[in-house]
Amino acid sequence: MRYDLNLLRVFLALMEERSVTRAALRLGITQPALSNALSRLRDTLRDPLFIRERYGIRPTSQAEEIAPAIEAALAQLDSVVLDRQAFEPGEAEHLFTLAPNSYAELVLMPPLVARLRALAPGIRLRLTPFGNDLAETGVVSGTTAMVFGRIVDPPDNLVVQHLMQDGLACVVRSDHPEVEAALTRAVYERLKHVNVLPPGRLRAGLHQALAQRNLKRDVAVSVTHFLAVPEMLAVTDYCATLPRLVCRALERDARLKVLPAPVDLGTFPVEMGWHVRYRNDPAHRWLRGVIADLAAQLMADERERQAAPAGI
């Protein structure tokens, strides 16, 4: 029996989006064209496949049963075709949509942009937020190329790669009246603090680390992004506990100084995730390699800083 591969891609888009509108947008076709393709699919497979509901569509039991086989078959075909394609970074024209959390956006994205400018100036990036819901980023459906941050309980169609581990340090204004060369537990607990509450899991990690070490923190103000912290610290006697590599970025501000936390607060992972269909895509694979190299270099630079006498 002969199958129209385009119909199978329509089937997978509907399975993952659970919406005719979103599936059509993802495939770059009109809704009438998608509805026509779905009608042909139903005739071919002799099943309704999708049932309309109030907020979208629901796959039938047969659709659920055949979906893994169709996805595996198309992924294998993509792998065969893509492995034969050469990728030349310097000549490539490509747009990647990436979903970094606020940490990755500040720490990883600037060096990535610099690296791409040097190696692949035709590659463009579009950043979209990564909060608590992986599905909302588009990475689960494959419309977003990669997601960066703490990835918990990923679905089966998401590949997750560990990039690096970062730690935590403290930032205060450079002429802080109570803090000189070190920050003691007593002073830390006496100070008022600026707390960062970005979307995602980082805030929970810091809260747990403080609780596990019985380190108290008097939070005076909470903000939603790391970039709000410097101006608040510069005009107050407050303290902020932030990822070490974020502290490195803030350290360039002469109004601020970075110090070790009064106790070791442990580390947290930074991960990269992408849809399984991109596993063998040459452009995607090349970009993943660039990002992994950058993360390794960031960690090597940080280890060197910590080993130096003035390191934190």
Q: Per-residue confidence of the chain (312 residues) as pLDDT tens digits?
A: 566 777 888 888 888 888 888 888 878 788 898 889 889 889 888 899 999 887 788 999 998 888 888 877 777 776 666 555 567 889 888 899 999 999 999 999 999 999 999 999 999 999 998 877 787 788 887 889 999 998 988 888 899 999 999 999 999 999 999 998 899 999 999 999 999 986 555 456 788 888 899 999 999 999 988 999 999 999 999 999 999 999 999 989 999 999 999 999 999 999 999 998 888 888 999 999 999 999 999 999 988 888 876 545
pTM equals 0.74
User: How far is it, in rounded angstroms, from Cα 193 to Cα 262?
Assistant: 14
Q: Are 94 and 283 contacting, i.e. CB atoms less than 8 angstroms apart?
A: yes
pLDDT in tens, 265-310: 999 999 999 998 888 888 999 999 999 999 999 999 988 888 876 5
Which residues on adjacent β-strands are paired with residue 29?
none
- Give the model confidence (pLDDT) of 241-267 as tens digits: 999 999 999 989 999 999 999 999 999
Choose which CATH entry (3.40.250.10, 2.40.110.10, 1.10.10.10, 3.30.70.20) describes domain 5-83: 1.10.10.10
Q: How far apart are CA 198 and CA 302, in angstroms?
A: 23
Question: Which of the listed CATH numbers 3.30.1180.20, 1.20.1250.20, 3.40.190.10, 3.40.50.10490 matches domain 94-165+269-307?
Answer: 3.40.190.10
Q: Residue 236: what residue type?
A: T
| Phi-psi region at 115: left, alpha or beta (left = phi > 0; alpha = psi -120 to 50) | alpha
Domain ranges, ordered by start, for the chain: 5-83, 94-165+269-307, 171-244+259-264
